[in-house]
Amino acid sequence: MKRIAATALFLGSFSVSAAVYRSVDPQGNVIFTDQPASGAVEVELPPVPTYQAPRYRPPASHPDDAARPAAPGYRKFAVVSPAPDATVRDNPGNVTVALVIEPDLDTKAGHRIQIYLDGKPVGKPTTSLQAVLSNVDRGEHRVSAAIIDRNKKTIRRTEPVRFFLHRQSKLFPRGPKPPAAP
């Protein structure tokens, strides 16, 4: 709080004006100063330009908002497969994503489910609670899902689930064999 007050006083001091004097030295150089010297003339300065910001007015509510039904309260929406921090072993890179939702998806209202892999949408929105992600690269990934409406506005989103995909490769052989027992 003290810093704010000190900053306000410091910046406010710039708006306080003092007289400015103009004089010419013996070499003919024009000098501006706040100290009156012999032969100095006070300079009339124009007023400091200011800007008055318009007041913010919140947008008026749309008349259709009251008639629009509220979105159903989805009590539960989560990714159940793959499990958090699970290792999926699949050489083609296929990962099955399974979701749970309560109550059922409101398809009459146009609700759909969009799957995300590493924050990017995968495929088209669907009503299915299962999806297969194909040709996923090996390594760490995060999968999540969102319930979206007809306008593609997100209604509810799952927490991202981290998983690891293991794809066997000749380029990455298994570790060295353990030494034989003596």
The residues spanned by each domain of the chain are 18-44, 76-166
**pLDDT of 55 higher than 60:** yes
Q: Give the β-pairing of 139-148 and 154-157.
A: antiparallel
Which numeric CATH code is attached to 76-166? 2.60.40.10
Q: Which residue is it, tokens 């989103």?
A: 157
For residue 92, the one-letter residue type is P
Q: How many CA atoms lie within 13 A of 75 on its CB side?
A: 3
What's the CA gap between 75 and 58, in Å, rounded? 32
The pLDDT-based confidence of 36 (bands split at 50, 70, 90) is confident
90 contacts 165 by C-beta, under 8 angstroms: yes
Q: Which residue is it, tokens 């997100």?
A: 154
- Phi, psi angles (nearest 5°) of residue 108: -65, -30
How open is the CA angle 142-144-149, to the nearest 5 degrees?
Answer: 155
Q: What is the pLDDT of residues 150-174, one digit of tens each?
A: 888 999 999 999 999 988 877 766 6
**pLDDT of 175 higher than 80:** no
The pLDDT-based confidence of 84 (bands split at 50, 70, 90) is very high
What's the CA gap between 33 and 20, in Å, rounded? 6
Partnered with residue 165 across adjacent β-strands are 88, 139
73: its two tokens: 């309260």
